[in-house]
Amino acid sequence: MRRLLWPGLMSLAMFATLIGLGVWQLHRLAWKQALLAEIEAAAVRPPVPLAEAGRPDPFQRVAAAGRLRTDLAARYGAEVREGRMGAQVLAVLERGSAAPLLVDLGWAPEGWVLGGGVPPPGADVRLTGFLRPAEHPGWLSPRDDAPGRHFYTLDPAAIGAALSIGGLAPYTLVVLAPETGEGGVALPAPARGLPRPPNDHLTYAATWFGLAAVLAVVFALWARKTLTQEGKDR
């Protein structure tokens, strides 16, 4: 029996850890479901004017109006869609006495030029979207191409400096859909909805519980074999 003591204690500790991880993932599942429900509710609420929103929560839809400076267009990131490399198109929204706002108009392929339904520089528009906080470059962040106006870190301060426009608000308005009414604008392919984080916590929980079950079975088989062998040796 003493041969089972330390392996048994170690297996018990590992079993308790695996069960604890599974329970933790179930708690994370409940939290993520509540968060997704909050996002779904925000998606159907009318947008709040940005000037009245104060400090909007990350999933609140907001609306902003002003002069769209498409002459200050830039690119952000790199993404392949339908076999074509492209990036997000950025512009600046001037809002009178309020801080100018960096705007993500949507994805467009390489070689795409402003035109068509995009208004001329200085056109009055009203845009609806959600706010994305400023990013900061890390050790592995690609280097921005400031002269070419192609950026890989969504940092309004750095982008504003490269575009020779100061005082940008410390966040970016990600446009959700093109406005088609008065003052509307047709955009490059914009975001089609509020960001929704993945919810894989039930799968993770099942994995941890499954590993705990496998550990219990393996230890039981090993213990049975060990006890049987001890009985034969006596």
The residue to which tokens 């070419």 are assigned: 148
88: three-class secondary structure by DSSP? strand
Mean pLDDT score, 203-220: 96
> Quick count: other Cβ atoms within 10 Å of Cβ 3?
12
* Full-model pTM: 0.75
Minimum mean pLDDT range among 53-57, 151-155, 199-203, 224-228:
53-57
Compute the distance between CA of residue 231 and CA of residue 9 in angstroms, rounded to an integer.
Answer: 22
Q: Which residue has the tokens 């048994």?
A: 8
Return d(Cα 180, Cα 114) in angstroms, integer: 18
Residues of the chain above pLDDT 90, percent: 44
154 has a pLDDT exceeding 70: yes
pLDDT exceeds 80 at position 33 = yes
**Arithmetic mean of pLDDT over the chain:** 86
Indicate if the pLDDT at residue 190 is higher than 90: no
- pLDDT, position 35: 87
* Phi, psi for residue 146 in degrees, rounded to 5: -60, -45
Q: Name the pLDDT band for 151 (thresholds 50, 70, 90).
A: very high
